[in-house]
Structure 1
Amino acid sequence: MQRMTVKEAAPYIGASEYKLREMVRMKQIPAYKVGNRIFFRKDTIDEWIAQQERENFQQFTASK
């Protein structure tokens, strides 16, 4: 299991650190905390990205 910090995960998903922290607060992205520190599992983030792609594609094709 590879874990990533906010600093590492933000460029990985193409977001700012601020936006990523906001997404965690809004429970829009899977993460876990150890104390006040936020971490992400790389494989979980990869799954989340794939799910976002599927949902966006379905919305795109449904609107045609």
Structure 2
Amino acid sequence: MERMNVKEAAPYIGASEYKLREMVREKLIPAYRIGNRILFRKATLDKWIEQQERENSGQAVEV
């Protein structure tokens, strides 16, 4: 399982570290915490990106 911290995940999804932390606080992106650290699974981010693409293109989203 490949994990990323905020510094690694932000450029991966094309966002600033500040914006990514804000998205986590608002529960707009899947993440998990270990202590104070915010972590992301790369596979989960890939699925989240695909879901965002489908939603933004008007296609139905699988649940």
Name the one with the larger helix percent: 1
Give the aligned partner of residue 23 of structure 2.
Answer: 23
Q: Which contiguous aligned blocks of 4+ residues in structure 1 show a shift greater than 6 angstroms?
A: none
Give the aligned partner of residue 49 of structure 2.
Answer: 49
**Matched-pair identity in %:** 78
TM-score (normalised: structure 2):
0.92
State yes or no: 1:32 paired with 2:36: no
**Aligned partner of residue 58 in structure 2, secondary structure:** helix
Gaps of 5+ in 2: none
1:34 shift after superposition: 0.2
Higher Rg: 1
1:53 shift after superposition: 0.1
Backbone CA RMSD of aligned residues: 0.9
Instruction: Find the aligned partners of 2:50 and 2:6 in 1 and give their Cα distance.
Output: 19
